[in-house]
């Protein structure tokens, strides 16, 4: 049986909640919710930031959490939330100061059963179906002040830090996905024969698999590098974006190469190649599309000037 990357995605979605509470919250909040995820009847946690009209630009989210009395009232909608309807704990990002962009983004814990919290429909997906995704709605959902994780307005920078770390983990998973597809294709190419020879003897087949191996090995080394920087406490935003970009695109290429190598069988559900392709496609838009990763990397290449250019167009020294 072929490996199922959705299992890794399922675990990663749940652990993101715990990482966020520990990273952004107080020790009391961590002690309140994290152990609930580790007991004899563990609760799953999920993270909710994406909205119907807000994906890559997280600072534009419209879900609000307005102060009322000693707590907050939340209204809005989230979509494409992993583990929606399965999780019992949700880290929801909302703005406490509408119109201020990222300055108002704040994190809150919402629990299943909270009045005004509604789980919507489960969304159909191309692949990785055992890691469900769905919609969440908040209709005058009242939250006590101790449900806020971190200070008001601290949620956006905290979310970006969490994305940096999770992208390294994603990259590692993506390298594994790509390796599974490549290994299957190599095995098939050694067993399938045409015109009296195993098909790996033909450059059209072998060179395609060589390219897949090169892309995967490059992505693996970039992932190791980003992980080393993270463990050493050094800046790694650019490196995590590079690793995630390289690994997601390598996984997709390897899955495509596997399908091509199997020919017509690559399109058949009797073989795992088509599922490799469906599962790998999620990795490119997940937690930052390939275009966004390139924007992150470009900002490191072209950092903003600290002052305006001098008259005449020459930048200051």
Give the residue numbers annotated as catalytic, written as ranges.
287
User: How far is residue 238 CA from its own chain's centroid?
Assistant: 16
List residues bridging with 137 in a β-sheet.
77, 118
Please work out, in degrees rounded to the nearest 5, the angle formed at the alpha carbon of residue 163 by the alpha carbons of 38 and 95.
90
Distances (CA, A) of 267 to 1, 140, 190, 199, 279: 17, 48, 19, 18, 14
CA atoms within 13 A on the CB side of 33: 32
Rounded CA separation 178/279 (Å): 10
Rounded CA separation 55/308 (Å): 31
Rounded CA separation 190/59 (Å): 50
Of 58, 21, 117, 96, nearest in space to 287 by CA: 58
Q: Mapping DSSP to helix (H, G, I), strand (E, B) and coil, where does residue 313 land?
A: coil
């Amino acid at each position: 049986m072929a490996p199922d990357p959705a299992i890794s995605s399922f675990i990663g979605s749940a652990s993101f909640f715990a990482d966020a509470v520990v990273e952004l919250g107080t020790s009391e909040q961590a002690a309140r919710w994290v152990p609930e995820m580790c007991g004899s009847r563990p609760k799953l946690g999920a993270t909710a930031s994406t909205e119907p009209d807000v994906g890559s630009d997280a600072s534009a989210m419209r879900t609000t959490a307005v102060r009322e009395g000693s707590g907050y009232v939340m209204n809005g909608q989230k979509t494409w939330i992993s583990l929606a309807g399965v999780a019992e704990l949700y880290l929801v990002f909302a703005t406490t100061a509408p119109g201020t962009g990222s300055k108002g983004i704040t994190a809150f814990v919402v629990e299943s059963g909270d009045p005004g919290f509604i789980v919507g429909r489960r969304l159909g997906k191309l692949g990785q179906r055992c890691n469900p995704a769905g919609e969440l709605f908040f209709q005058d959902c009242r939250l006590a002040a101790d449900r806020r994780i971190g200070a008001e307005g601290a949620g956006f920078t905290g979310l970006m830090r969490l994305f940096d770390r999770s992208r390294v983990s994603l990259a590692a998973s993506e390298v594994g996905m790509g390796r599974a597809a490549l290994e299957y294709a190599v095995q098939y190419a050694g067993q399938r024969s045409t015109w009296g020879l195993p098909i790996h003897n033909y450059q059209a087949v072998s060179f395609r698999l060589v390219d897949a191996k090169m892309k995967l090995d490059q992505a693996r080394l970039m992932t190791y590098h980003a992980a080393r920087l993270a463990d050493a406490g050094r800046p790694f935003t650019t490196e995590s974006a590079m690793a995630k970009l390289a690994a997601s695109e390598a996984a997709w290429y390897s899955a495509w190469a596997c399908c091509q190598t199997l020919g017509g069988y690559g399109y058949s559900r009797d073989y795992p190649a088509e599922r490799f392709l469906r599962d790998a496609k999620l990795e490119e838009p997940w937690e930052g599309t390939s275009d966004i990763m390139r924007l992150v990397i470009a900002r490191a290449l072209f950092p903003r000037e600290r002052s305006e250019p001098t008259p005449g167009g020459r930048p200051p020294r």
